Structure 1
Amino acid sequence: MNAAEEPTAHTGLVQITSIEQVRREKYRYHLFVNGEQDEPFMSVHEDIMIKYRLLKGREIHPEELKEIVEENTKHKAYTLGIAYIGIKPRTHKELSQYLTRKGIDEQSIEQAIARLSRERLIDDTDYANRFAAERLRNQLKGRRLLQQELRMRGIEKDTARNAIDRLDDDEELAMAIRAGGKKWPYLKGEPRERKHKLMTFLLRRGFPGHVVKAAVTQVISQPEDDDEWQMLDN
């Protein structure tokens, strides 16, 4: 935060002498105190202004000022979180890292995440389930790679494993066949070498060994000029 958002500690009374709306931020206001107009004393959200009746002429004692600053920071963490997860779903870890980059303190981050969790706006279990299913279907990645990616995003080990266990075995095989079918025409070498390359490719995409074996058998058994093969290559 900059100085206008988190004022330094004051031992005496401060009085609001001027209020200005922050440019390009409809619901935030600069507060000027004790006649100082060069730099705002702090910036607060409209909700904080209403809650603490921060009007021109209002006098604020040091203890109350400390409370206002803390509440303003918590509110900022929450609103930043709302905006961030509004772009696309996020994990707790991703949101925490984002708020840290924005200069929010750890306690305010924890409180914001707890509130968003209570409101069901952020949910690692739901995120993991959706992520695994969508990445399998859209990016043709196997369960092993998907589990690694979930862990990298901060999903707890058990939550990630449960999401992976929910994947349909038949669908995973179908996606492995699809991925293999796309790759097979571009592999060079003798049949045995091409088969080995295809197996390696599918293993690297996170498909389990038994799925890879079944998928490779399906892919190499199809004539490359077959209509169904052409569909797989699209």
Structure 2
Amino acid sequence: MPTITKISKQKKSSDRYNIFLNDNYAFSVTEDIFIKFNLRKGLTLTEEEIETIRENETWHCFYVEAIRFLSYRMRSKQEMRNYLKKQEVAPSIIDEIIARLEKEKYINDIEFAKAFVRDRMSQTSKGPRLIVKELTDKGVKAETANEAITLYSYERQCQIALKWAQKQLKRKSNKSYKKQNEALKIKLMQKGFDSDVVNEVFDEIKPPIDKEAELAALEVQAKKIYRRYEKKYQDNELIMKLKASLYQRGFQGDLINEYIAKLDK
């Protein structure tokens, strides 16, 4: 019968023990498994007992790895499952580890989702729809994500969207005032804010038109259009094409006429 004839601590891992059976190295175990099976010199083991110890050691090592993965930040159940799959852990062991992690409250998707929402609210300018999508992409159930997103109040959404919009309005642009506002509204929607929030933001900021900046943007666009059309059209037809293109780009009629008047001089 295999008998433990020697036990030694590993030099690089003080919490691991090398087990020798009949004077030959057999396997190593962590201190938890060492204590669990009461391993000691002179203990006789059956082949089934040895296999059980090895299986428990494997399970324990993967469990410790799961805890390490959680030490960096909270994880959703699906994130943990995906991680263990990458570590080539058997599906049955993954289920057992996740069940234990849930029982010990290391994994809790509703708490994870709430923490995720709070983080996104404080660290990003994303709207609720985008945050819910991020959560579902991480494997969080839709109803759980929707419950967590209630932490993101309407007032908070308006504050964050307004702050972001005001920063955008300070940037220089060659687009018309109208097109800039249209683009800003689209971006806010793309960031996950609903139309009622977007409309309230624009009611708040009421971005004033800067005539000088608008005229400068118009001139940039007009020169590009003029170069594109001057070989195809002439005289009034060229002017009409230029006007039409500028209207399509959202520039006001009085500014367009002001620019055209300069061309005629």
Q: Which band: TM-score by shorter chain?
A: 0.7 to 0.9
Percentage of matched positions with identical amino acids: 28
1:227 aligns with none
Taking structure 1 as the reference length, the TM-score comes to 0.79
Q: Judge conservation of contact 1:94–1:153 (CA < 8 Å) in 2.
A: yes
2:188 equivalent among 202, 212, 230: 202
The aligned runs of 1:1-234 (5 Å cut-off) are 13-37=1-25, 41-186=26-171, 188=173, 189-221=175-207
Q: Distance in 1 between matches of 2:138 and 2:88?
A: 21
**How big is the shift at 1:187?**
5.3
State the aligned residue count.
Answer: 209
Taking CA–CA contacts closer than 8 Å with sequence separation of 6 or more, which of the two structures ends up with the larger relative contact order? 1
Instruction: Note the residue ranges of structure 2 that are not aligned, 5 or more in a row.
Output: 211-265
Instruction: Note the residue ranges of structure 1 that are not aligned, 5 or more in a row.
Output: 1-12, 225-234
Q: Match of 1:66, SS?
A: helix
Q: What one-letter code is carried by the residue in structure 2 that aligns with 1:21?
A: K
Q: What one-letter code is carried by the residue in structure 1 that aligns with 2:204?
A: Q
Higher share of residues assigned helix: 2
Task: Tell which structure's C-alpha radius of gyration is larger.
Answer: 2
1:48 to 1:85, Cα distance in 2 relative to 1, 3 A = same
Point out 4+ residue stretches in structure 1 off by more than 4 angstroms: none
Q: What is the RMSD computed on CA atoms of the aligned residues?
A: 2.2
**How big is the shift at 1:31?**
2.5
1:23 to 1:197, Cα distance in 2 relative to 1, 3 A = farther
Offset from partner CA, 1:200-233 (integer Å, 9 cap, x none) = 2212211112212222332343799xxxxxxxxx
Q: Judge conservation of contact 2:79–2:138 (CA < 8 Å) in 1.
A: yes
Q: Distance in 1 between matches of 2:207 and 2:105?
A: 48
Q: What one-letter code is carried by the residue in structure 2 that aligns with 1:170?
A: E
Q: Match of 1:206, SS?
A: coil
Q: Distance in 1 between matches of 2:10 and 2:2?
A: 21
